[in-house]
Amino acid sequence: MTTSTVVVRALSRRRFAIRENLGRWDVKYSPYAFISPFFIVFALVGLFPLAYTGWVSLHSWDLIGGEGGWTGFENFAFVLQQRQFWVALRNTMSIFLVSAVPQLIVATAIAAALDTNLRNRTFWRMSVLLPFVVMPVAVTLIFGSMFGERYGLVNRTLAEVGLGPIRWHTDPLASHIAIATMVNFRWTGYNALILLAGMQAIPRDLYEAATIDGATWLRRFFRITIPQLRPTVIFVIITATIGGLQIFDEPRLYDQNGLGGEDQQWMTMTIYLYKLGWTQLNFGRAAAVAWLLFVVIVAIGLINLALTRRIASAGAGR
Partner 1 sequence: MSILAGLTRNRAQARIEQRPRPFVYAFLAVILAGSVFPFYWSFLIGSGDAGTLSDTSMSWIPGGNFIHNAQSVMDNESVNFWRALANSVIVSSVVSLSVVFFSTLAGFAFSKARFAGQHGLLVFVIGTMCVPTQLSVVPLFIAMSKFGWTGTLGAVIVPGLVTAFGVFWMTQYIAQALPDELVEAGRIDGASMFQTFWYIALPAARPAAAMLGLFTFIMSWTNFFWPFIALNQTNPTLPVALATLQANYFVDYSIVLAGALLATVPLLILFVFAGRQLVEGIMRGAVKG
Provide, rounded to whole angstroms, the least separation between the CB of residue 4 and partner 1.
Answer: 26
Burial grade of 125 (CB within 10 A; 0-12, 13-18, 19 or more): middle
Query: What's the closest the beta carbon of residue 211 comes to partner 1, in angstroms?
Result: 5
Segment 254 to 313, residues that bind partner 1, using CB under 8 A? 256, 258, 270, 273-274, 277-278, 283, 286-287, 290-291, 293-294, 297-298, 301
The residues in 28-47 that bind partner 1, with binding defined as CB under 8 A, are: 28, 30-32, 34-35, 37-39, 41-42, 44-46
- Nearest-approach distance from CB 201 to partner 1, in angstroms: 6
Residues 7-26 close enough to bind partner 1 by CB under 8 A: 23, 26
How many Cβ atoms are within 10 Å of 121's Cβ, its own excluded? 11
Q: What are phi and psi of 166, to 5 degrees?
A: -90, 135
The alpha-helical segments, DSSP class H, found in 201-255 are: 204-212, 217-220, 226-228, 230-244, 249-253
**Closest to partner 1 by CB, 79 or 128:** 128
The yes or no reply on residue 105 touching partner 1 (CB under 8 A) is no
115-174: contacts with partner 1 (CB under 8 A): 116-119, 122, 124-139, 141-146, 148, 150-151, 153, 156
Smallest gap from Cβ 126 to partner 1, in A, equals 5
| 274-277, long-range: CB < 8 A, 24+ apart | 274/248, 276/79, 277/63
Indicate the residue among 81 and 120 with the shorter CB distance to partner 1: 120
Are 281 and 265 contacting, i.e. CB atoms less than 8 angstroms apart? no
Contacts of 132 (CB under 8 A, 6+ apart): 186, 187, 189, 190
Cα–Cα distance for residue pair 44/63, rounded to 1 Å: 21
The reply on whether position 190 binds partner 1 by CB under 8 A is: yes
Does the footprint of partner 1 cover residue 201 (CB under 8 A)?
Answer: yes
CB 268 within 8 A of CB 260: yes
Q: Which is nearer to partner 1, 6 or 138 (CB)?
A: 138
Closer to partner 1 by CB, 23 or 315: give it.
23
Q: Is residue 318 close enough to count as binding partner 1 by CB under 8 A? A: no
Q: Which of positions 230-249 make contact with partner 1 (CB under 8 A)?
A: 232, 235, 242, 245-246, 248-249
Residue 208 sits in the site that holds partner 1 (CB under 8 A): yes
Q: For residue 60, give the 3-state DSSP assignment.
A: strand
Find the radius of gyration of the CA atoms of the chain.
28
